[in-house]
């Protein structure tokens, strides 16, 4: 059974635990470089700088909507899209899927990620917060 859930024909959705397992965070440490899926954080730069998952890739939803392409490390890989609470990541996953990418969004976003005790780092690699 796939961990990717489909609702009303849109992109799948995953829990933070499923996202962590798929991106190499399942053991509570930084993502492994050989993880298949990429955690794509679509929050705004100030939110990303305050705290994000280690190894995540950043591209704000506003940049994505404006037509920005995926960062090199996220191209041609399955994407697990995350934001603060799950609203923007849902929009981004739908947009990415419409562009042909394999994308799912994370239910509950970074708030649930941090609440589950998963790692959050700031722009310098120290302990981060979810802004």
Catalytic pick among 19, 20, 83, 130? 83
pLDDT per position as a tens digit, 73-119: 999 999 999 999 999 999 999 999 999 999 999 999 999 999 999 99
Residue 82 dihedral angles phi and psi, to the nearest 5°:
-130, 150
pLDDT per position as a tens digit, 37-51: 999 999 999 999 999
pLDDT at 1 over 50: no
Q: How far apart are CA 127 and CA 95, in angstroms?
A: 31
Class of 5-115 in CATH: alpha beta
Query: Hey, where are the domains in the chain?
Result: 5-115
Clarify whether 106 is annotated catalytic: no
In Å, what is the CA distance from 113 to each residue of 41, 63, 70, 90?
Answer: 12, 23, 23, 16
């Amino acid at each position: 059974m796939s961990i990717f859930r489909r609702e009303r024909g849109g992109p799948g959705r995953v829990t933070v635990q499923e996202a962590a397992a798929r991106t190499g965070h399942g053991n509570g440490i930084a993502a492994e470089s050989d993880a298949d899926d990429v955690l794509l954080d679509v929050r705004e730069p100030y939110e990303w700088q305050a705290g994000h998952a280690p190894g995540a890739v950043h591209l704000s939803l506003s940049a994505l909507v404006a037509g920005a392409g995926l960062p090199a490390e996220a191209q041609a890989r399955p994407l697990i899209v995350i934001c603060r609470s799950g609203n923007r990541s849902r929009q981004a996953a739908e947009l990415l899927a419409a562009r042909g990418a394999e994308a799912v969004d994370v239910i509950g976003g970074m708030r649930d990620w941090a609440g589950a005790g998963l790692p959050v780092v700031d722009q310098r690699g120290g302990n981060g917060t979810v802004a």
